[in-house]
Each structure stands twice: as structure tokens, then as C-alpha cells.
Amino acid sequence: MNMEIIIPLLAAAVQSGTPILYATLGEIFTERSGVLNLGVEGIMFVGALVAFITARVTGDPWLGLVAGGVSGALLAGLHGLVCLNFLGNQVVSGLALTILGTGMGNYFGTSFVGLQAPGFYPLDVPGLADLPLVGPVFFHQDLLVYCSYLLVPMLWYFFQYTRWGLRLRAAGENPDAAEAAGISVLGYRWGGILVGGFLGGLGGSYLSLAYTHLWATNITAGRGWIAVGLVIFAFWKPGRALLGAYLFGGVMAFQFRLQAMGTALPSSLLLMLPYGLTVLVLILAYVRGQGTKAPAALGVNLEPRE
């Protein structure tokens, strides 16, 4: 293989990894606060649709992006209501969210199938774009990709060094102790859910505004679930999430290219690649990680005090 094939492939890997990256970072944020939200697939779907419709109606992709993020946060808010206030099972509530979200996306989206909306297009970063290899791969992308580059170290710093970040982690690791120390666990968990939902909504918005620019049924195609799997692979760390997301972006881009080149392999078999890889990556993460590194209270609701 020569560079004319590899560089576009790597650039495509970064692009198609970006929606997964946003969703994974969002889920890391939520899970660090101790809440498991399996609704990412539904949140991305609704985010993608709301962003698409808003951008189409207003003509402004930035408004679309904000609307997509907010709609993701609102949908995640249902999860917060059910799990935090009504102490419902987090696994089942998340599944319900996905069923509801994909239903909403397809229900309100049917009349938009195949239509276009204004979105984000690649912009060169002055200076950096001219670097060999790195330039065309990382710095000939759209603005949302550049935002995601910044988001990763920001989240890392947030969890590691800020007061809010440490308290959020305390809510996920040992809520009883955090409560005793005067931290509002409920408040931080609500924060975790809403911010996570917002980022998931942004991930969905990326799909309809930057990745495709048109509306298609089933636009998320399991990316939300892959993101949930990647959180485990990433050991709940933003940096490793970046790595995982680009790995998956790479496989998806590769699979598309193979199909476009007209290989003898049937497309259904190629489409299996990302899902099979998720399973493989999870097994590797567990084997190499020697057990999980999940927040200790992940998925456990706060029992009311007597």
C-alpha cells in the first residue's frame, strides 16, 4: 500500500471515529458519577435528528449542534428522573431510553429521509495542515473534530485536578462517604447524566451535520452501543477513549473503502467487522486489565436513608 491510499484512510478513520469519541466521552462522564446509562444509542439518534432539523430550518449548523446536544441532555434527563428520583433499575431504564430514542428518531425522521441540511466541512488549520502525514490526517478536518481534540485533555484535567471532577468521581466510587463529607451525590449524578447526554447528543449531531449531511433511517447503526463498549476498553479514561474511537473509525472507514472498491466479500460480512471487533476489544481489555476498573458504585442506586 502506498501513501495515496493510507493517508485518506487515516483521515477517514479520524472523521468516522469522532461521533463515537463524543459519545464515549459523554458516557465516561456519566459513568464516573456512578450512573450507567445504556441509552447512548437512543440519545445519539435523537441528537442527530434534532440537530438535522434545526440546521435545516434555521440554516445554521451551529444552532443545530446546540439543539442536538440539548435534546440529548433532555432525553438523558428522563434516565435521571427514573433512576435518581424514582430509584428505577439503571440497566432497564437505559434500554428503555434506547428503544424510545430510536423510535422517536424514526417516527419524526421519516419525512426527512434523503433530504439535506447545512453542516460542517473540512477547514485547514494554518501551519499544521502542511505537516507531512500528520497534517492531512489530523488537521484537514472540520471544526467539530478540532473541538474533540480539545475536549479529551479538558476532561482528563477535569477528573484529575478540579474540585468538581474529584467530587464527581467520589459520587461514583463511594457515594456514602461522599455524602458524609457533605457532597451532594444526587446533584453530581444529575450533572453526570446531563453532561453525558449533551455529549452523546453532540456525537449524534456530528453524524447528521458533518459525517453525512443528509438524513438516513437508522443513522446511528449501533455506534452508541460501540461507545458503551469502548468506555470499558478505555478503562474510563478520556485518552484511551480517543485511541479506541479512532480504532473503530478506522475499521468503519476501511470497511466502506473495501465495499466501494468492489471486493468479492459480501457487504453483510464486512459490516460485521465493527461489532465483532467490539467483542474482541472487550475480551482483550479484560484479559490485559486483569478485571475491571469501573467506578465502584457504578449502576448502584442510592437507597433512601431511614
Partner 1 sequence: MLGFRIQRRDKPLGFYSAFVVLAAVVLALLFSGGILALRGTPPVEGMRVLLQSAFGSRWALEDSLAKAVPIFLCSLGVGVTFRLQIWNIGAEGQYAMGAVGATWAALTLPGLPWYLLLPLMGLVSFGAGAVWGLVPAFFRLRWQVNEIIVTLMFNYIAILFLEFLVYGAWKDPVSFGFPMTPTFSDNAIIPMIGMTRLNWGIVVCVLAGIAIWVFFRYTRLGFELAACGENVRAARYAGMPYNLLVYLVMGFSGGLAGWAACIEVSANLNRLQPSVMAGYGYTAIVVAWLARLNPLAIAVASFLLAGLRVGTENLQLELQVPSAFGSIMEGLILLTVLAGSFFIDYQVRRRGRL
Which positions touch partner 1 (CB under 8 A)? 38, 42, 78, 81-82, 85-89, 91-93, 95-108, 110, 222, 225, 228-229, 232, 266, 268-269, 271-272, 275-276, 278-279, 282-283, 286-287, 291-292, 303-304, 306
CB nearer to partner 1: give 163 or 305. 305
- Min dist CB 77 to partner 1, Å, is 12
* C-alpha distances out from residue 78 to 34, 103, 122, 194, 201, Å: 16, 15, 35, 10, 14
Helix (H) or strand (E) holding 141: strand 140-141
Beta carbon nearer to partner 1, 137 or 230: 230
Instruction: State the nearest-atom distance from the C-beta of 78 to partner 1, in Å.
Output: 6
| Of residues 306, 3, 18, 275, the one with CA closest to residue 145 | 18
How far is Cα 105 from Cα 103, in angstroms, rounded to an integer? 5
Q: Which helix (H) or strand (E) holds 221?
A: none
Q: Smallest distance from the beta carbon of 292 to partner 1, in angstroms?
A: 7
User: What is the spatial distance between Cα 292 and Cα 106, in angstroms, rounded to a whole number?
Assistant: 36
Q: Cβ-count burial of 25 within 10 angstroms (0-12 exposed, 13-18 middle, 19+ buried)?
A: buried
**CB of residue 99 to partner 1, shortest distance in Å:** 4
Cβ at position 85, least distance to partner 1 in Å: 8
Q: Which is nearer to partner 1, 86 or 157 (CB)?
A: 86
CA angle 91, 96, 99 (to 5 degrees): 130
Q: Nearer Cβ to partner 1, position 57 or 92?
A: 92
- Of 91 and 134, nearer to partner 1 (C-beta) is 91
- The least CB distance from residue 123 to partner 1, in Å, is 34
- Residue written as grid cell 472498491: 261
Smallest gap, in angstroms, from Cβ of residue 296 to partner 1? Answer: 15
**Amino acid occupying residue 61:** P
Q: Which is nearer to partner 1, 104 or 125 (CB)?
A: 104
Return d(Cα 256, Cα 223) in angstroms, integer: 15
If the CB atoms of residues 44 and 210 are measured against partner 1, the closer one turns out to be: 44
Q: Is the dihedral of CA 56, 11, 260, 217 positive or negative?
A: negative
Smallest CA-to-CA distance from 239 within 120, 139, 145, 152 is with 152
